[in-house]
Structure 1
């Protein structure tokens, strides 16, 4: 029996409501977790909220409310989005209120300090509050933060530092040996180049005064709080009860087959360099891979609360429905590069691929079996034809294609293979024309009747495979598809078993699974 698997989405700042970029990452991580479960793996899927941020403090001050009030209110917006997106999360951790996190983050600091990797010194640098990050002058774009396009502020204070420079060679060894993968290859190359260029020690605390007293205190020094990123990164193990020696930590981190972080490109360095180095210092296992996605853009610019072009994901879901939104994010956008979100494109893909393609297929097959075979899936009869073998090959090719694509975390390619099976199945319906076979069978043609039985069995087999393959991507509608063919299993079977157990099952005639969108994009 395999050990557990760990998958996380990043924990976002909660200084404002979530935007569509958060929805992209949530849905990506969810489909990866669901697909592994479909393969029979034991998966723990984590997300949460990053609450100990100066951004949250400043946002609260601007509203004239307490930081606690702002954080509690905004966390609820993120939790609501998670429910709307139908995420299969196992836990949601809050870094300002969950004692397991506060104790765990403190304990990680103490382990790093005990290893001689923390020291204190004065520091001056250019700090972007939006990124919660110091930048060197060379990293700025026309003097501005490359993410938020505003000038960083000059900050001078005495902080604690982490000896990141000590872990340069160990990090390179982990990358080049494959112990720690960075996906895609372009991000791996960026990370390796950054580490090879020479690592400098990093500041890991802020003065309590500048933090306005908000954050986790540095052990033994209440004049400082743990820098938000150092605090936040520990959530991946504190949520598993690491500090308390919980069995969850042992199963889903220490002994896990895989430990995967899904994250946006703007935080690659934190997750692929700083976090693994911290774990090395603390003597804890590294993640096995970091999977880096691009940004959702509008006219080529990142969607951002700070830039004022954020798109409300709940509003988009209310307008188009969850299937259309999840499909647009997973089938239309690159898993790794930036991509523009377009409502007209969302409607077009939903209508063509789902309503007209898959929904029409399921409806036609269920209706014909109900009409011509009293709602029961028949057994194949007569000689098989080349088109039957062709559909069987497409089933096998689509399953293999989806499995291979998802092993590379490429959800868009995976759904293209699902689309191949939808098109092949519809073509199979049209080329066999069961309505003509039914007419011939009614006139006493036993060959036509036997042929119709084979066609219906093969089509229900294809529909079952489509429902299973779509469970990670469109879980609600995939469940409805599986109900039509009486399928209760949520395990991806071998393609050779694609027809097993179907003959004799009752077909359920559904309401439209993908109803037409009555909106104008």
Structure 2
């Protein structure tokens, strides 16, 4: 395993307010970054905003403001949402910032001087919302964008092109040599079969039909095509090509750093095909992984600002708390697959996993330690019977499985493994029946063993879920009396560390939600979007 990590979200397009679909990608990326830091690894986490393009210019004109004023206003909301969701990014890059603009101009010059960019004319199909060019075959007889399903328009203008043909063989070799470069593998097959094998045309990398973009130094009437501009954020934020390139050397050039891009399925083509080609032309190594998450759907269709079927994260967090929303996003939709958001699923998931399982386990256990041991967890004497051995072995196995799954970005599966431990601990209470053990003086050691095994199971679950439950885990630790070294991840490996701690019963970690009432509340939130 490499010793440090550079992990990124896509930079989001500020054409309108962000919704829960954007929150999904950013929260899952944040969970991974927090996990790596929790394990003691150095992790640099980048997100940002993609602020150029024809669509932004058009929206600004309609709003009666300049493009810069338009994006400035919307990007404020980005920062507010990430603060609300406890996103722990190290940097936020904006493509209108001078530090980015200069790097984009210099990169364009390098690609041009390498002979990989040439001037010609483009005539074909263009989708304004997607900022994407398409061939006759791709748009079909109805002239529909294959990505968003909207009608495309004819575009004809002088433009610079990038020679993709020069790098196709190297790209395919990258796919072959690094089996995890694109995850899941179905996305790699899609890139090969849908785009590369049918014949990959040279990519348009400049526009002259609008002005809101990075001007090309060699020909200022051209602006850099938004996708070349946007992709460069991953290295411009690190200071590539500047005097202050320490971060670039540390988090990109250093082979001991793993570079991971997290992105949505709808922008895979640009990241998986063109971005590696740009980097090859620059003589820079490619990312280690591009993890393609699925789309968060609304029953029968993709959640989309243009369709007006989005879910606003703000009222969800205000009513149910940040941990409930973060947990739902990470647990309900398997990371890498498409999933649906529904009020019914949201309420059920919070009740089943957080209120009934984890919250109830903590509440029952703290109450018993208070009742039977005056709030002090008894000493750990090892596993005194088979059921103790079983839960000890499961705890150790859970830690191992969790780490393996999280390291491979299988975040949902890692959470499921922790839930299995929580559910087993609840079953352990029913099997051991502490309320009966306390009546039998000969079962005194057995009762003490139950208390220390339960508290240790809860402690481990709280630690493993800490990257997800950013406030609730601390509340859980507070009730168990976890302080000092026990707050370090390494402490989970030594069994029985909760012995001797003073527990404190407080409010329910996750109060149970009234199903019908809360489903109706969420439906109202969605209707008032």
Classify the TM-score, shorter chain: over 0.9
Q: Structure 2 unaligned runs (5+)?
A: 520-529
Is the counterpart of residue 457 in structure 1 residue 455 in structure 2? no
Q: Which is worse superposed, 174-183 or 37-46?
A: 174-183
In the aligned structure 2, how far is the partner of 1:284 from the partner of 1:21?
A: 32
Secondary structure of 2:337 counterpart: coil
Alignment of 1:21-420 (within 5 A): 21-96=21-96, 98-140=97-139, 142-178=142-178, 181-193=181-193, 194-207=195-208, 210-211=209-210, 213-244=211-242, 245-255=244-254, 256-381=256-381, 384-420=384-420
RMSD: 1.9
Is the Cα–Cα contact under 8 Å of residues 180 and 286 in structure 1 kept in the other structure?
Answer: no
Count of paired positions? 511
Q: Which is worse superposed, 406-415 or 15-24?
A: 406-415
Q: 2:513 matched to which residue of 1?
A: 517
Is the counterpart of residue 508 in structure 1 residue 504 in structure 2? yes
In the aligned structure 1, how far is the partner of 2:164 from the partner of 2:148?
A: 26
What TM-score results when the alignment is normalised by the length of structure 1?
A: 0.94
Per-residue Cα deviation, 1:186-226 (whole angstroms, up to 9, x for no partner): 1122223333444321000111xx22x21111122110111
Q: Which is worse superposed, 402-411 or 344-353?
A: 402-411
In the aligned structure 1, how far is the partner of 2:289 from the partner of 2:234?
A: 13
Is the Cα–Cα contact under 8 Å of residues 383 and 389 in structure 2 kept in the other structure?
Answer: no
Secondary structure of 1:160 counterpart: strand
Q: Structure 1 unaligned runs (5+)?
A: none
Secondary structure of 2:154 counterpart: strand
Structure 1 outlier segments of 4+, above 6 Å: none
Q: Which is worse superposed, 136-145 or 454-463?
A: 136-145
Q: 1:8 matched to which residue of 2?
A: 8
Q: CA shift at 1:152, angstroms?
A: 0.7
Is the Cα–Cα contact under 8 Å of residues 20 and 311 in structure 1 kept in the other structure?
Answer: yes
In the aligned structure 2, how far is the partner of 1:497 from the partner of 1:475?
A: 23
Secondary structure of 1:100 counterpart: helix
Secondary structure of 2:490 counterpart: coil
In the aligned structure 2, how far is the partner of 1:367 from the partner of 1:258?
A: 45
Secondary structure of 1:520 counterpart: helix
In the aligned structure 1, how far is the partner of 2:100 from the partner of 2:382?
A: 64
Per-residue Cα deviation, 1:411-444 (whole angstroms, up to 9, x for no partner): 221111111011101111122222322333xxxx
Is the Cα–Cα contact under 8 Å of residues 162 and 204 in structure 2 kept in the other structure?
Answer: yes
In the aligned structure 1, how far is the partner of 2:383 from the partner of 2:489?
A: 28
Per-residue Cα deviation, 1:256-283 (whole angstroms, up to 9, x for no partner): 4310000011110111111111011011
In the aligned structure 2, how far is the partner of 1:15 from the partner of 1:382?
A: 59
Q: CA shift at 1:163, angstroms?
A: 1.1
